Homo-oligomer: A and B are copies of this chain.
Amino acid sequence: MPAMSQTPLAYTPHDHDLCVKSALANAEAICVRQGVRLTALRRRVLELVWQSHKPLGAYDILAVLSEQDGRRAAPPTVYRALDFLLENGLVHRIASLNAFMGCVHPEHAHQSQFLICRNCHTAIEMESQTISEAITAAARSIDFVVQGETVEVIGLCAACRKAV
């Protein structure tokens, strides 16, 4: 699997087919280790989510399953698959977009931190210990115990700033 957490993958040109393939292989391994079943449907949904580095909506997934795969799918089909992937840390939900992104380092539990480009809609996952620590510190100062973070930053990526 390519080193995805160091330089943000979404930025740099890369072999994206390989990128998707390795994400799926990684997911298989994780599911085996966790003793959970990555069924064909769940695998396919994960693949679709991974096929772009942009957040994907549940109904976009649904459309592909219905129109492209010819599967009889209704909303629960997609949401159940997404729930499974979320529970097992294979995707993240982006609340501010009602959309989903493949997780770039699902091996270990972690918080959800994203940079989202307003122009090209690419979402880049961060894993900044500094941000998490700042949040924990701020929370502790008013006696609040953190269970989960949602950090979603909107702005402009390097490529889009150059383009404009």
List residues of A whose CB falls within 8 A of some B CB.
Answer: 7-8, 11, 95-96, 113, 115, 117-118, 124, 126, 128, 130-131, 133-135, 137-139, 142-158, 161
Query: What separation, in Å, do the CA atoms of A8 and B138 have in the docked complex?
Result: 12
Considering the complex of A and B, which 10 residue pairs feature the smallest CB-CB distances, nearest first? Answer: A143-B158, A95-B95, A95-B96, A128-B138, A150-B152, A134-B134, A147-B155, A131-B134, A146-B155, A130-B134
Q: Are B118 and A135 interface neighbours, CB within 8 A?
A: no
Q: Are B155 and A139 in contact (CB-based, < 8 A)?
A: yes
Which residues of chain B have C-beta atoms less than 8 A from A158's C-beta? 142-144
Give the contacting residue for A115; candidates B133, B144, B154; CB below 8 A.
B144
- In contact, A130 and B137 (Cβ under 8 angstroms): yes
Least Cβ–Cβ distance between A108 and chain B, in angstroms: 19
> A135 contacts which chain B residues (CB < 8 A)?
128, 131, 151, 153
**Residue from A117, A133, A150 with most neighbouring chain B CB atoms (10 Å):** A150
Residue of B nearest to A114 (CB): B150
**What are 9 A-B residue pairs whose CB atoms fall within 8 Å in the complex?**
A115-B142, A115-B146, A124-B142, A130-B134, A131-B135, A131-B138, A142-B158, A143-B157, A150-B154
